[in-house]
């Protein structure tokens, strides 16, 4: 997949879309559901590509999400055998991939929040510096929107030992992640049902009407 020409990715930062969930409430794979004719996975990938030198997708083997990612020539990372299902398992393999790529940090994004702010990752990367950062809104912490330094690999690996899977935000707090405040909490809304996707499509349409000529995120 080509990167928009105006993008200036941050040196040493790679991105990962967390797309390994089972989407039980949605009834099918959320990452391949479409908004405005584009799969949600691609919305997330393109946003990360504007800030990262490379982007990978965390997906379960044999899924439509994996096939879509491979069709876009994106690296696909599977959770390590024995790890409990959840986003931290994706962060673990993402950090290992980042280290192999020679990167210093990993930016993570959910696959099901297509209206995230355009300045999300530039602000997180700037705030993190050599450390970690995560988004925060009036609704609380947004730990899937975060920057993880490769130096956090040992902490994440240890947290997942013996099938454990602590809350992602707790791990980010443990590594002293900076909180970056965003005013529009609705922009972080994730999609769990087809009805929520339809409601989000209506919001996206209102945004386009209110801001003619602007690029979508």
pLDDT at 36: 83
Contact 5, 49 (CB under 8 A): no
pLDDT at residue 79 above 60?
yes
Tell me the pLDDT of the chain averaged across its residues.
87
Nearest to 132 by CA among 147, 145, 119, 151: 147
What confidence score (pLDDT) does residue 217 get? 46
The CA distance from 110 to 126, in Å, is 20
Q: Is the pLDDT of residue 10 over 90?
A: no
Q: What is the mean pLDDT of residues 66-86?
A: 95
Q: Give residue 205's pLDDT band: very low, low, confident or very high (50, 70, 90).
A: low
Give the model's confidence band at 37: pLDDT under 50 very low, under 70 low, under 90 confident, else very high: confident
Provide the pLDDT for residue 142: 97
CATH code matching the domain that covers 13-210, chosen among 3.40.640.10, 3.40.50.11810, 3.90.550.10, 3.40.50.300: 3.90.550.10
Question: pLDDT digit string (tens) for 105-135?
Answer: 999 999 999 989 999 999 999 999 999 999 9
For residue 93, pLDDT beyond 60: yes
What are 215's two structure tokens?
């690029």
| 110 bridge partner residues | 18
Please state the domain extents for the chain: 13-210
Cα(first)–Cα(last) distance of the chain, in Å?
Answer: 16
Q: What average pLDDT does the segment 62-70 reach?
A: 94
Asked if 149 and 104 count as a contact pair (C-beta separation under 8 A), the reply is yes
Q: What is the pLDDT of residue 28?
A: 62
């Amino acid at each position: 997949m080509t990167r928009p020409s105006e993008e200036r990715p941050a040196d040493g930062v790679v991105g990962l879309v967390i797309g390994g969930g089972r989407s039980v409430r949605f009834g099918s794979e959320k990452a391949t559901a479409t908004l405005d004719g584009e799969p949600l996975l691609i919305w997330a990938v393109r946003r990360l590509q504007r800030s990262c030198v490379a982007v990978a997708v965390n997906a379960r083997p044999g899924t439509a999400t994996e096939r879509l990612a491979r069709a876009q020539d994106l690296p696909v990372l599977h959770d390590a055998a024995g790890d409990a299902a959840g986003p931290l398992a994706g962060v673990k393999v993402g950090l290992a991939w980042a280290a192999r790529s020679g990167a210093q940090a990993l930016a993570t994004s959910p696959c099901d929040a297509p209206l995230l702010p355009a300045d999300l990752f530039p602000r997180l990367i700037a705030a993190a510096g050599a450390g970690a950062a995560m988004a925060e809104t009036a609704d609380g912490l947004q730990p899937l929107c975060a920057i993880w330094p490769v130096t956090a690999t040992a902490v994440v690996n240890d947290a997942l030992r013996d099938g454990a899977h602590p809350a992602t935000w707790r791990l980010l707090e443990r590594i002293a992640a900076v909180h970056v405040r965003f005013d529009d909490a609705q922009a972080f809304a994730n999609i769990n049902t087809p009805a929520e996707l339809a409601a989000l499509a209506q919001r996206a349409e209102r945004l386009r009407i209110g801001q003619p000529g602007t690029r979508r995120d």
